[in-house]
Amino acid sequence: DFAWPPHQMSGKQLLRKLAPQSTVLLVCDVQERFRDVIHGFEAVVECTQFLVKAAKELEVPIVVTEQYPKAFKRTVQEIDELLVLPEGDGTANLYEKCEKREKTLFSMCTPELAARVSAYDSAIVCGIEAHVCVLQTSLDLLALGLDVHVCADAVSSQRPFDRSVALSRLAQAGAALGTSESLLFQLLADAKHPKFKNLQPLIKSHAALAHASPLLQL
């Protein structure tokens, strides 16, 4: 049964395999105000775009949060435009498996959102800042019993040291650290997956950009 606040889990459990039908993608606070202050911000945006595109192709639900947007502005356009589906009359509706929420809590796991994501086995987490909102979100998800996969090339902080310490803390807590490409291949599981061919161009273009990322070290 769902309970909030969650109880801390004792010990470590084996991670279940990622599967599109039991996984949710959480995009944490990739907002315009942070563009000029976050280490490797453009790399975070590019990897988050990759994850969002892949999630849409595989029909993985997406949850996007914005931390106090009155002060920190909205989700960056490069990501936000992927979350809508244009209509023939020129309007656009939010992708049906996506929801956006404003928050002031540092964790994405507000009581309402915690109840929502507790229906899934696994969560993939990306966004900023690694040592604040990403860290607290991931710890809350672990306490809820989810397998947490932190996308290391899609999270960062203002200071690289804060990012490194946060990733170490998350690994110690039981979160799995992965890369954007590795997480996608885990979701696919098999080259015979019906969506694999559709995703190959995305994988190739992403690989070409990833070599220049400043987030290739933990």
Residues designated catalytic: 29, 97, 133
User: Regarding beta strands 84-86 and 92-94, do their DSSP bridges make them parallel or antiparallel, or are they unpaired?
Assistant: antiparallel
List the Cα angle 55/57/60 in 5-degree steps.
Answer: 35
Using a CB cutoff of 8 Å and minimum separation of 24, what contacts does 186-192 make? Answer: 186/17, 186/18, 187/18, 187/19, 187/20, 187/23, 187/54, 187/58, 187/60, 188/58, 189/17, 189/19
List the Cα angle 75/77/79 in 5-degree steps.
Answer: 70
Which H or E element spans position 148? strand 147-156
C-alpha span between 143 and 47 (Å, rounded)? 26
Residue with tokens 């672990």: 142
